[in-house]
Amino acid sequence: LTTRVPKDTLPYDAEVIGAVRDSAADAGRDSARDDLVVCAAGTLPAELHKLWRSGVPGNYHMDYAYSCMGYEVAGGLGAKLARPEREVIVIVGDGSYMMLNAELATSVMLGRKIIVVILDNRGYGCIERLQLNCGGASFNNMLDDCVPEGGERSTIDFAMHARAMGAEAVHVRDVGELRREMTRARAAKTSQVIVIDTTHERTTADGGAWWEVAVPQVSARAGVEAAHRAYLDAKTRQRH
């Protein structure tokens, strides 16, 4: 699942992370020194662990243990209050943003600017891949799969929502435009939100560590039983 070619042509998380970091140089800044990145849930913490480079202690604020969806915007405001001299950049998926975003309005009210980059893959892409990788079938992880007969397709305008809370916001078309908007956002005085559509089907290659996710021992699905055998095999190489 990490190497297959997506059916769509949308950018994936690694390309977004690269554009965010590269925009620092465009703005005459040093990302490793000046940027404080905040993230919590989904695929993004793993991607940032592999791809982000911080040069100063405290500039990398990540929740790995419990993957707390919704922490990101609130955590970003807290980071800005603690380190007002840093460019606080919150990188968050649409699922996490939907769970908790009220502190965006608080950041505007307090005059504590944060930059929020929302990666909209229209659902819970990390769980979708994990579910399939464990031999399961896709089930109601992506928004388009959840619409019942007679229902209506979800069309959430995240940029408009952010503007309603007082932030300046834009929905970009590609990573090139994202990089340009990030450069502009760095020079802004109030909180910024940049939304980009991304694919949920692709991630970067594994980083050398194994994510232990238990798989049912017995299942009517051959794929689940195969995934269980792979799980047991991987455990034999587990050091601790």
Tell me how far apart the 2 most distant CA atoms of the chain are, in Å: 57
Which backbone phi and psi does 192 adopt, to 5 degrees? -120, 140
19 near 182, Cβ under 8 Å?
yes
Position with higher pLDDT, 137 vs 164: 164
* 128-145 pLDDT per residue, tens: 988 888 899 888 889 888
For 177, the enclosing helix (H) or strand (E) is helix 175-187
Looking at the structure, do residues 44 and 129 belong to the same domain, yes or no? Answer: yes
In this structure, the answer to whether residues 59 and 160 fall within a common structural domain is yes
pTM as predicted: 0.91
The answer to whether position 34 is within a domain reads: yes
Domain of 73 in residue numbering reads as: 13-209
Residue 208's pLDDT band, with cuts at 50, 70 and 90, is confident
| Together in a domain, 141 and 234 | no
Task: Say how far apart CA 118 and CA 116 lie, in whole Å.
Answer: 6
State mean pLDDT over 72-94. 98
Q: Give the per-residue pLDDT at 89.
A: 99
Tell me the average pLDDT of the chain: 92
Looking at the fold, whether 155 and 188 belong to one and the same domain comes out as yes
pLDDT for 7 equals 62
The mean pLDDT of 21-29, rounded to a whole number, is: 97
- Same domain, yes or no: 154 and 220: no
- Residue 4 covered by a domain: no
56 — pLDDT class (breaks 50, 70, 90)? very high
Q: Residue 36, SS3? A: strand
> What is the tally of structural domains in the chain?
2
Q: Closest Cα partner for 155 from 195, 201, 105?
A: 195
Average pLDDT rounded to a whole number, residues 170-189: 98
The pLDDT score that the predictor gives to residue 127 is: 87
Say which residue the tokens 């968050």 belong to. Answer: 92
**Residue 8: inside a domain, yes or no?**
no
Average pLDDT over residues 211-237: 93
pLDDT tens digits, 88-110: 999 999 999 999 999 999 999 99
Q: Do 201 and 227 sit in the same domain of this protein?
A: no
Please indicate, yes or no, whether residues 162 and 82 belong to a single structural domain of this protein. Answer: yes
pLDDT at 8 (0 to 100): 66
Contact by Cβ (8 Å): 29, 87: yes
Model confidence at 206: pLDDT above 80 = no
How far, in Å, CA of 11 to CA of 225, rounded?
33
**Considering the domain boundaries, does residue 6 fall inside one?**
no
* 1 occurs within a structural domain: no
Can you tell me the distance from the alpha carbon of 238 to that of 214, in angstroms, rounded to the nearest whole number? Answer: 14
> 225 and 185, same structural domain?
no
Instruction: Determine the pLDDT at residue 204.
Output: 86
- The answer to whether position 155 is within a domain reads yes
Instruction: Output the pLDDT for position 173.
Output: 96
Q: What CATH number is given to the structural domain containing 121?
A: 3.40.50.970
Three-class SS string for 89-147? EEEEEHHHHHHCCCHHHHHHHHCCCCEEEEEECCECHHHHHHHHHCCCCCCCCEHHHCC
Q: Which is nearest to 136 in space by CA: 10, 225, 237, 65?
A: 225
- Compute the Cα dihedral for 48, 1, 66, 91 and give only its sign: positive
